[in-house]
Structure 1
């Protein structure tokens, strides 16, 4: 099996998810995935859950994130951890970009 080690930015397509949200899958394999997510101000990522562990790092912008029963206002440099199957979602307060890391990878994003 050949492992892909390099994922140039020009090889990854920005996908319009709708509602002011776009994303680009970056490096990934079966065990981990890196996704760049762009939000317009006012965009809502509805509450949801999935079996993947997820870490979100805020590159830019300002967001209200709900994880479980807690809501956090986060901005550039902040990060969040979401355990498997925990309900979470976000509202974009100021346009920005997030970096999401999932384990295992999100087959539904490929």
Structure 2
């Protein structure tokens, strides 16, 4: 029921990106994602709805055919199967929520 950040494993994904899977059930998932300046999350898509809240830093996000600069306090919605990705222009952290949960994030 409770997920304490201090007790949650930080996974290094490489290329300046790391994440903590904070909480999940089969219906949804909350993930903290940290980016070093210049790190890139390549364009990709998945069948999950995704909501992203910018906790800190600044990011150039592409969602579909649009690319915009977002920073702390901004949020985005990504519909299922839409192409999206980002480049971190100022080191920061995102909070991603997925519906349903990303099974691929917890598979060993």
Indicate whether the TM-score tops 0.5: yes
How big is the alpha-carbon RMSD for the aligned residues of Structure 1 and Structure 2? 0.7
Large movers: runs of 4+ above 6 Å: none
The equivalent position to 2:99 in structure 1, one of 88, 100, 103, is 103
- 1:31-60 CA-to-partner distances (Å, cap 9, x unmatched) read 010000000000010000000000000000
Ranges in structure 2 where 5+ consecutive residues have no aligned partner: none
Ranges in structure 1 where 5+ consecutive residues have no aligned partner: none
2:29 — aligned with what? 33
CA distance in 2, matches of 1:60, 1:9: 16
1:11 — aligned with what? 7
CA distance in 1, matches of 2:54, 2:104: 22
Q: TM-score, normalised by structure 1?
A: 0.94
2:66 — aligned with what? 70
SS at match of 2:6: helix
Q: TM-score, normalised by structure 2?
A: 0.96
